[in-house]
Amino acid sequence: VTVRLNLQFKYNRTNTWNTYGRIKGAVEPEKVVYIGSHHDAWDYGTVDPISSQAPLWELAEVLGVMMKNGWKPRRSIQLNSWDAEEWGLTGSAEFVEKRKQMLKANGVVYLNTDVGVMGTPDKLFAGGTPSLQWAMGKALKVIAHNSTHTLHDIWLNKYDFHPAGWSS
């Protein structure tokens, strides 16, 4: 079978917009914790960006309330909303390329909230870097599943799975 395709594309140059806000740290302001996700999508709506952006906006609001009550972070916190992720991670890649040295010297961590929520109410999906498994285990121990069990209990009972760094 031979297939011949004649593809014609219209190439346009267009602007993209990364949006970010920063809270200055009180003790180590030059050190920065980055939290972000993308806001663009392949189609209208989609779970991918909206389930990531909604928690990011909620975090911004919570941090604002905490600051109004006198709280200050130890290190600076920067919330990032990237554009053109679906076109090749363009927004975040451009950000990094322009700031490589500063990020190497002062970037503490980047928390990517992409696809922040998915699935059904009776299932928990957790993913991330293996070096942070202990943090997931710790968080699941304080999140109530019902009046007598935590998500940690449910996870261990259902899957009999103990990732590295989790204690029973």
Catalytic sites, residue numbers:
85
Find, among 83, 140, 74, 80, the residue nearest to 112 by Cα: 80
SS (H, E, C) the chain: CCCCCCCCCCCCCCCCCCEEEEECCCCEEEEEEEEEEECCCCCCCCHHHHHHHHHHHHHHHHHHHHHHCCCCCCEEEEEEEECCCCCCCHHHHHHHHHCHHHHHHHEEEEEECCCCCCCCCCCCCCCCCHHHHHHHHHHHHHCECCCCCEHHHHHHHHHCCCCCCCCC
Tokens for 10, please give them.
């219209």
